[in-house]
Structure 1
């Protein structure tokens, strides 16, 4: 019998048998959407993003920055995940218009602008900075980054002629239709165009952009 102030404790077994035994086939497989890509570069680094509202750099995470190439499309992108949580802190294609710039006062970090980073879901324009352990690692990243730019540029150049050829080549039926049009139609259209052109005031003509045959002024160089 328990005395005053004493309680009788029951022995409790903390072990519980699982309701369902998982087999090899029942194990959950987590997909990263990187299964069809090969790693071209991998290096530990720390990533920052510039916050324009606060006008300051904010840390995004520390982990392995990787440059991945898709086995089918051959397109190359940059992906970085935070340590432990593996949350994505950078995810974007490496395009030819990006330019790595050395961070002021450091030989081991780079800064570049991204038009569409999708690490947070929706594509957003970002200014990113990455810092490595030493200048040698930073140099290796720059080499791999620029090689990825060349790869993506070559892919875009190879796809461009095929798209242009498809757009410029009229369908056979359309060609036949043009051949069947009477010659008189062309003369009527030219006459109408001339009449309309004469009716346009000189002030309106001056506001129209010049033809493509005119030499265009050189474009201003982008700020580096």
Structure 2
């Protein structure tokens, strides 16, 4: 299966998709997938073409209700064991870092004050009517909103394995939090993921502190 993918005209794109689907913490929707892979961003409004591309990824993936899954756990196991070097040529940590950086780009571009236009301070989350996926401004960034900290954490399993790279990551996080922190909290609430957000903030504080101590 991997040999067929490697010899196709879309080999690089297929490998990017397979790598992402193999390490995300929950299955992504097609819109989330297009936002997380730069080569797909121009196709965000053409989900049919995205499905066609996914069909080129051999017998590994399937799409159900606009969400991408592995056809079976054994397909994922094969990618992260026997096909690891082909799918993750720079290592799994680098793939996590790419998702983290891409997530910050997506969120920085998407998040804004009162993103659902509620025009009311303290509007109960349970009363918020979820917009249609086609018009939901968070449709492509929900995954990024909830899991970007986890990908940052897993991109660096040893303290500052690359000092320069981690300093760049710290600067990216600092800039995002200065500009978008309150809007990120608002989005977490709208995604009904505030409890996960609390855990992520605590994890981020510990991670950034360890990086800061090492740099100093």
TM-score strictly above 0.5:
no
Greater relative contact order (Cα < 8 A, sep 6+): 2
TM-score, structure 2 normalization: 0.29
Give the structure-1-normalised TM-score.
0.28
